[in-house]
Structure 1
Amino acid sequence: MAGWPGPAGPGPWPPPGPGPGWPGGPTSPAPGGAEPRQRLHPLSPVLHGAKSLVVVIAGLSWSTLSRVGFGWFAVLVTIFAAGATVLAVVSWWNTGYHVVGRELRVHEGLIWRRTRAIPLERLQAVEVVRPLLAQLTGLAELRLEVVGGGKTEAPLAYLGVAEAVALRQRLLAVAGRAPEVVPPAAGAPPPPAPAGRRLHAVRNQDLLVSQLLTPQAFLLPFGVAFVVAQFLSEGSWSFIAVASTITAMAGVVLQPVRRVLDDWSFRLDRDDDTLRVHNGLLETRVQTVPLHRVQTVRVTWPLLWRMKGWLRLRLEVAGYSAAEPDDRNRPDRLLPVGDARTGELIVAEVLSGVRLGALPSAPPPRRARWLRPLTRTAVGAGLDERVFVARSGLLTRQLTLVPYARIQSVRVTQGPAQRRLRLATVHADTAGGSGAAAPDRDLAEAWDLAAELTARAHAARHADRSRRH
């Protein structure tokens, strides 16, 4: 096929051992001289209780306050918060973790005890997260993302910051089959985190302007006018009316404000074959992603950003990004906003040898206009030397790059309308779950493309295994 050049497509969980209990200290000796279990920080129940208090107040809502009065409302909040705190203390007392061989084991439960064994060779990313309360108390939360996980595995909340950083380094060393980092002796300071090489730091001014150039910001005046009109038409200046108005206005501005808070002081560093992402204002995060775990890179050009030549970069880590419903918890940030030159430099760092400005992309045949009368020229696909390229979007343009070594399967699909037009869609699936697709290709071209993708994926995986071993 002339259009597609180039060459070619878990450990068992052991049952929980007998293990000792928790006799009066942070650790207790494990049988056979194994590493003892570690407890979370003693302030963990306090932070969990504070979080529960916020949930309780939100759950009771303003309508409950208006019905029962402030006194009974305070009593209800106190009772629920006290109960949540007691449960948090009991949970903390019976929770522990330790590294056994190439597994992280987390022990939980009082009546029904549970041991989770997480094979570290499946580890995809590790985050050190510091919500506002954790920042005030000098604590941090460690979150692990593993292959095939639909959500965070074994979040360890909370640890001391130094302890969380040292544990993150150790887990990544074990996951990367590097010599394991020996944990420091009791009372000894943890090894310092590597400085890394700075790739880019986003200016907070650019971040603010980028969120002003969003549909939410343009619609904000209309939303404010609507809620003010509703407020004035009620003819009531009660506390409940004010609270409801503020809640409605907060819903209008929540998304852009949340993005600014999440991506504040964004910095991207590289430590050898690992990316380190720092971001956040009220909740700071330090995300660590091994480069060989990256499944896809997505480049997005929002409509209003194109007047400034800006783009956004997202990456996908196997099994996690697509499954997590809350995008704040997705380990996918690569560049929240930046110009074309910055985007090219970062893509070249993450996907070695890939030039963002010189990627091939061919549109579907002309007869595909019957299925895509407006977007036929906006979609396309191509084969670079190292990645599969898929282009989409009319107003918001998007480019998806899939390294051949990350392709798990290749599919060719046809709908009823496609069959009549002799068209088909080629899907390149990754362990991350989304992958990329080349829609509405000529049928013969689609089968040739699928065969070429399969061959390239096989060759790339073989070369990748050879390099790593």
Structure 2
Amino acid sequence: MTSGPPDAGPAEQTGPAEQPGPAEQPGPVAQPGPAEQPGPAEQPGPAEQLAPAEQPGPVGPYPWPAVPGFGPAPVEPRQRLHPLSPALHGAKSLVVVIAGLSWSTLSRVGFGTFAVLATVLALGATVLAVVSWYNTGYHVVGRELRVYEGLVWRRTRAIPLERLQAVEVVRPLLAQLTGLAELRLEVVGGGKTEAPLAFLSVADATALRTRLLDLAGRAPTGAPEPATTTGTGTTGTGTTAAVPSGRPLHSVGNRDLLVSQLLTPQAFMLPVGVAFVVVQFLSEDSWSFIAVASTVTAMAGVLLQPIRRVLDDWNFRLDRDSDRLRIRNGLLETRAQTVPINRVQAVGVTWPLLWRTKGWLRLRLEVAGYSAAEPDDRNRPDRLLPVGDLATGEMITAEVLPGVAVSALPLTAPPPQARWLRPLSSRALGAGLADRVFAVRSGLLTRQLAIVPYARIQSVRVVQGPVQRRLGLATVHADTAGGAGAAALHRDVAEAWALAAELTARSRAARLGS
């Protein structure tokens, strides 16, 4: 059926009698079919060129369009902290060492041995700080800030900038003396302040703060160019940048701040303590310098809270910048904090007993995304008004919670049987539903008011203790994101369940409407 080999000569052709019929004619099927043709990989020439993925050199081009913000991020060199950072950490360690050794150690070993011991421990801490500084670095990779630290146990922390809530520039006393600053990051859902970079120059700290906020999509108002700083520092051209102040709301006078801290129980205990020390010192000849110093140190510890509040809230200033509050305060340690208003979960109003004669109050914030578990509460931007009158408090509250008047909230008292559980303070208890907020009042000596917007309520609970069950009472809790929320104490059971149902309905409606 098939013809002979293609290289057969004319002598091998068949004669006329032997000519095959049309069906036997060598047709095209005798030719190598497409399946028998050499494939492109076997063809010489251009068909042997490598595929695009196999080409040497740069990768690409890709068959899909490039998407801005994706793909390999340029890798920048790792940055170090300021070279003076170990010295500042060593100085802080010296203070801690001296405080830890105490006056009793000084009396036992003598001043010379005490000084040598403190110096050795401080030098050891400084050496460790130098080693830590050498192994600590940071840089920005794409939309992440990566912080590297550790010598024996290396640790790398990657902080997604899309979860960045705020970047604060803090300047403790030693940092102010050396022209340095500390950068602290607040991340949504963080258990504490993330990756504090201590220390950087003021220019580097403010420039890094601007860059991080710009990458996080939260560039500060008044800083259109990434090189422009948001705090006291330098721009890309080396000139000093002005701090965008926003709209001033209120500034607390330092005189009022001092008087407010003198009107505290700790300050009232000071004369009693001084009189006790003087009487003991005059009546007994055995008192030594160490004993007197120890007593004075103990008294200073009693006054630590009011003194710290004066130092922390010195030159307190509150500004409104678009949808954020800017808080600046501090004497020995200056702070510039930013509070997004949409992260405010609740506002707390406090009337201390000794402040009521002057009509003063204090405002505090409950802010989502900040470190509620921070050991040092100064790291939390919860100060809204350290001290002020009712008119100022209502003005500031209206900035944070529009339409809310502190003095006009509809509060109702609990039933009479609540006196069995709160015999003295039952009259101070109250709870009520306003148009936009849930308000709860409590406290006898220190009156407190918690104001929670319906849109910020995460859950509602009705809780009954064994005594409450016998009295027909219950407590209604309105929980917020990561905060204390508000609790209506000792309400009638039927009222408690109705209040919980109403809170749930209003909270759902507020979230859907926002």
For Structure 1 versus Structure 2, the TM-score category normalised by the shorter chain is: 0.7 to 0.9
Q: TM-score, normalised by structure 1?
A: 0.86
User: Contact 1:410 / 1:453 at 8 angstroms: preserved in 2?
Assistant: yes
The one-letter amino acid paired with 1:298 is G
- Which of 245, 248, 259 is matched with 1:209 structurally? 259
In the other structure, the counterpart of 1:156 is 197
Alignment correspondent of 2:104: 63
List per-residue Cα deviations over 1:281-330 (Å, max 9, x = no partner). Answer: 11111111111111211001111111111110011222646433433333
Question: Does 2:159 align with 1:118?
Answer: yes
Partner of 1:281, secondary structure, is coil
Secondary structure at 2:205's aligned position in 1?
A: helix
Please say if residues 190 and 371 of structure 2, whose CA atoms lie closer than 8 Å, have aligned partners that are also in contact.
no
Q: Distance in 2 between matches of 1:432 and 1:406?
A: 11
Deviation, 1:157, is: 1.0
Distance 1:77 1:328 in 2: 28
C-alpha distance in structure 2 between counterparts of 1:380 and 1:227, whole Å: 44
Change (3 A) 1:417 1:172: farther
Per the TM alignment, residue 232 of structure 1 is displaced from its structure 2 partner at its CA by 3.7
Out of 201, 214, 227, which is 1:184 matched to?
Answer: 227
1:46 to 44, 67, 87: 87
Aligned residue type for 2:148: H
Q: How does 1:50-449 map to 2 (within 5 A)?
A: 50-175=91-216, 183-184=226-227, 188-189=237-238, 192-236=242-286, 238-318=288-368, 320=370, 322-449=372-499
**Cα offsets for 1:181-204 (capped at 9, x unmatched):** 774399644864322111100011
Once the two structures are overlaid, the 10-residue window that deviates more, 96-105 or 295-304, is 96-105
Q: Aligned AA for 2:430? A: G
Structure 1 residues 461 and 161: alpha-carbon distance in aligned structure 2, compared to 1, 3 A threshold: farther
Deviations 1:316-356 (A, max 9, x none): 22264643343333321111000111101111111122222
Match of 1:8 in 2: none
User: Displacement, 1:123?
Assistant: 3.6
* Cα distance per residue 1:48-101 (max 9 Å; x no partner): 011011111112222222222222222222211111111111111221223334
- Aligned position for 2:512: 462
Q: Tell me the matched-pair count.
A: 434
In the superposition, relative to structure 1, how do residues 423 and 245 fare at CA in structure 2: closer, same or farther (>3 Å)? closer
Please tell me whether the aligned partners of residues 144 and 161 of structure 2 are also in contact (alpha carbons under 8 angstroms). Answer: yes
Higher RCO structure, 1 or 2 (CA under 8 Å, sep 6+): 1
User: 1:142 aligns to what SS in structure 2?
Assistant: strand
Matched to 2:197, the amino acid is L
In structure 1, the gaps of 5 or more residues are 1-30, 465-469
Range with bigger deviation, 152-161 or 187-196: 187-196
Structure 1 residues 245, 423: CA separation in 2 closer, same or farther (over 3 Å shift)?
A: closer
Deviations 1:135-194 (A, max 9, x none): 101111122233343332211111222332333344444545669977439964486432
8 Å Cα contact 1:95-1:109 kept in structure 2: yes
Q: Which amino acid aligns with 1:99?
A: V
Distance 1:362 1:165, change over 3 A: farther
Change (3 A) 1:458 1:125: farther
Q: Is the 8 A contact 1:142 1:158 kept in 2?
A: yes
Q: Secondary structure at the match of 2:387?
A: strand
| 1:356-403 Cα deviation digits (max 9, x unpaired) | 222221121223222222222211111222221111111211111112
Give the TM-score normalised by structure 2.
0.79
Instruction: Quote the sequence identity (%).
Output: 79
Q: Which amino acid aligns with 1:141?
A: E
> Which residue matches 2:42?
none
In the alignment, the residues of structure 2 paired with residue 175 and residue 392 of structure 1 have an alpha-carbon distance, to the nearest angstrom, of: 40
Distance 1:91 1:198 in 2: 42
Provide Cα deviations, 1:427-464, integer angstroms capped at 9, x if missing partner: 11112321111111222222222222222223333334
How far off is 1:218 after superposition? 1.5
Native 8 Å contact 1:321 1:331 kept in 2: no
In the alignment, the residues of structure 1 paired with residue 289 and residue 179 of structure 2 have an alpha-carbon distance, to the nearest angstrom, of: 36
* Distance apart, 1:40 and its partner CA: 1.6
SS in 1 for 2:243: coil
Structure 2 CA distance for aligned equivalents of residues 225 and 365 of structure 1: 47
Whole-angstrom distance in 1 between the partners of 2:196 and 2:506: 37
My pick for the range that moved more, 161-170 or 75-84, is: 161-170
| CA spacing shift, 1:119–1:422, aligned 2, 3 Å | farther
Whether the 8 Å CA contact 1:125–1:317 is kept in 2: the answer is no
Give the C-alpha shift of residue 413 in structure 1: 0.7
Q: 1:424·1:441 contact (CA, 8 Å) conserved in 2?
A: yes
Aligned-pair RMSD on alpha carbons? 2.4
Asked whether the 8 Å contact 1:404–1:460 carries over to 2, the reply is yes
Contact 1:56 1:80 in 2 (8 A): yes
Contact between 2:190 and 2:369, CA under 8 Å: does it hold in 1? yes
In the alignment, the residues of structure 1 paired with residue 295 and residue 165 of structure 2 have an alpha-carbon distance, to the nearest angstrom, of 43
Q: Greater Rg, structure 1 or structure 2?
A: 2
In structure 1, what residue type is equivalent to 2:227?
P
Note closer, same or farther for the CA distance 1:152–1:380 as it changes in structure 2 (3 Å cut).
same
Kept after mapping to 2: 8 A contact 1:165/1:193: no
Do 1:213 and 1:304's aligned partners in 2 also have CA atoms closer than 8 Å?
yes
Decide whether the 8 Å contact of 2:73 with 2:142 is kept in 1: no
